[in-house]
Amino acid sequence: MTSTFPNISISTERLVLRPLDTDDVPALAAMMNDDQVAAWTDVPQPFTEQAAHGWITEHAPAERAAGRGLDLAVTEFLTQRLVGVIQLTKTNWHVRSTELSYIIAPWARGEGYASEAALATAQWLFGDQKLERIELRTAADNTASQQVAQKIGCISEGVLRNACIAHVRTDDGGWSDIRTDFIVWSLLPEDIEGADGHLADTGGFTGYTDWN
C-alpha cells in the first residue's frame, strides 16, 4: 500500500500552511507570472488562471494520492493572504525522504516567510511523519534560495553540473532556456535542533478535513 501525506494545516507565529484551495486561483496565477518565479522554475509562461485551477484541483490531489508529494499554500495568519507555496516531491517512503521547494510571491518577499515556512514543514516531516532526510536543490545563481537553505540548517552536499534549466528574458519579451548547475542540500533531523522558529510540540499541527 502506498503511503501518503495526511490532510494537514501547519501554523507558525505568522503563517498558516494549508492545502491549496480554488479561492487561491487568482493570487496563485499572479505569483507564478512573476519574473523571478519564471527564471528559476519550469512553470509555463504565461501562467493562466486555468493552469492554476488545474494545479489545485487535479495535479496537487493526484500527487498526494499517489504518495509522491504534497503542495501547501503559505498564507499570512492575520490577513489570510497567499504569500507562497511549499512543495514536497519525489517522496520515497521506504527511504523516508522527500525533496522540498518553496516559492514566495513578489508582494511578500523580504519578510523571512520562505525560511519560516520551510522550517515549519521540515519540523513536521521529521516529527510527525518520521522522515529521515529532506533534500533541496537550488540553481547555482539563485542566491536567495540558497540563503533560505542555509538559514534552516541545510548542509551543502555538492554540485550537479549542468543539471538545471533556468530562464532569461529575450529581447522580444519572451523567455530563453539556459543551463546551469544545481547545488544539492540536505537536511536531517539533527540539523534543525535549536533552529529558530520552532513549533511548540504538536500544537502547531492541526488536521485539515476539507481537503480532497
How high is the pLDDT of residue 109? 95
How high is the pLDDT of residue 209? 37
**How many Å apart are CA 142 and CA 127, to the nearest integer?**
29
Q: Which residues contact 187 (CB under 8 A, 6 or more apart)?
A: 100, 122, 133, 134, 135, 136, 152, 153, 154, 155
Burial profile 140-166: b = 16 or more Cβ within 10 angstroms, e = fewer: bebeebbebbebbbbeeeeeeeeebeb
Mean pLDDT for the stretch of residues 186-207: 63
Q: Which residues contact 183 (CB under 8 A, 6 or more apart)?
A: 137, 138, 139, 140, 146, 156, 158, 159, 160
Instruction: Write down the mean pLDDT value for the chain.
Output: 91
**Type of residue at 85:** V
158-189 confidence digits (pLDDT tens): 999 999 999 999 998 889 999 999 999 999 99
How high is the pLDDT of residue 195? 62
pLDDT exceeds cutoff 90 at 144: yes
Mean pLDDT for the stretch of residues 60-82: 97
145, 13, 26: which is closest to 78 by C-alpha?
13
